[in-house]
Amino acid sequence: MAKIKIGVLASGRGSNLQAIIDACGKKNSAAEVAVVISDRADSYALIRAKTRGIKAVFIDPASYASRKLHEKAIVKLLQQNKADLVCLAGYMRLLTGFIIGKFKNRILNIHPALLPAFPGAHGQKDALNYGVKVSGCTVHFVVEKMDFGPIIAQVPVLVAENDSVETLAGRILKQEHKLYPKVIELFAKGKLQVKGRRVNIKN
Ligand code: GAR
């Protein structure tokens, strides 16, 4: 069976991208990474992609007059590379309705907290400061409102009394690396069914 093609958007170190690339390299994987796009020239995700022979492109937001025009350039590249699915992997930029409309129910995000708790850019720190005893990670479909789309899967991570943001984030990240590829595989095999806010996983 033909593999689905993924376009990954990343801003930072790209460890989730790496987990996705590694999972796609396994026998019987139903997906492959076709292109990696970053909004940061210094994103290590670009190097990770190039190392594995994957097309890696920096699209500079500062070169475009509006968010929509920046996204138009991204969409063009995704379409040129025949992306079926878009995965946000530490992409620290809110998407507009333009790109979301072009890839309806085909954009995933991973968030380092149990949504709807602690959305935003500091999920692990916010959870720790709030004093929760359990946090974790969430993979969800992307809608215009930040960290709000239908939830596909979550993994809990216990907060330890002596946790720092770094230690908690590290344990959550380990779970992210397992969860994201699993969800991508489910998507690739056509097993995710969105019904309003609920996502059913077919057997
Ligand atoms: C990950 O922890 C991801 O969940 C988080 O950024 C990190 C990126 O790490 N995303 C968000 O906070 C989105 N709101 P990575 O670049 O090593 O994959």
CATH number of the CATH domain containing 126: 3.40.50.170
74 and 163 fall within a common domain? no
CA distances from 57 to 9, 72, 78, 140 (A): 10, 14, 11, 25
- What whole-number distance in Å separates Cα of residue 187 and Cα of residue 191? 6
Pocket of ligand 1 (CB under 6 A): 10, 12-16, 89-90, 110-112, 121, 123, 173, 176
92 and 4 fall within a common domain? yes
118 and 82 fall within a common domain? no
**Could you read off the pLDDT tens digit of each residue along the chain, which spans 203 residues?**
799 999 999 999 999 999 999 999 999 999 999 999 999 999 999 999 999 999 999 999 999 999 999 999 999 999 999 999 999 999 999 999 999 999 999 999 999 999 999 999 999 999 999 999 999 999 999 999 999 999 999 999 999 999 999 999 999 999 999 999 999 999 999 999 999 999 999 98
120 and 93 fall within a common domain? no
58-115 pLDDT per residue, tens: 999 999 999 999 999 999 999 999 999 999 999 999 999 999 999 999 999 999 999 9
- What whole-number distance in Å separates Cα of residue 188 and Cα of residue 84? 9
Distance from the CA of 110 to the center of ligand 1, in angstroms? 7
Distance of CA 195 to the CA centre of its chain: 21
The reported pTM is: 0.98
Q: Whose CA is nearest to atom 1 of ligand 1?
A: 90
Q: Tell me, what's the pLDDT at 1?
A: 79
135 and 200 fall within a common domain? yes
Type of residue numbered 4: I
Q: Given the CA of residue 119, which atom of ligand 1 is nearest to it?
A: 14
- What whole-number distance in Å separates Cα of residue 169 and Cα of residue 186? 25
Q: Tell me, what's the pLDDT at 198?
A: 98
Q: Is 97 helix (H, G, I), strand (E, B) or coil?
A: helix
114 and 203 fall within a common domain? yes
165 and 181 fall within a common domain? yes
- Where is the domain boundary, 86, 104, 122? 104
Distance from the CA of 1 to the center of ligand 1, in angstroms? 31
81 and 119 fall within a common domain? no
Distance from the CA of 148 to the center of ligand 1, in angstroms? 16
Tell me, what DSSP letter sits at residue 114?
A: -
Q: How many domains does the chain have?
A: 2
Q: Tell me, what's the pLDDT at 90?
A: 97
183 and 146 fall within a common domain? yes
166 touches 178 (CB < 8 A): no
Is 140 a catalytic site residue?
no
The whole domain housing 167 covers 109-203
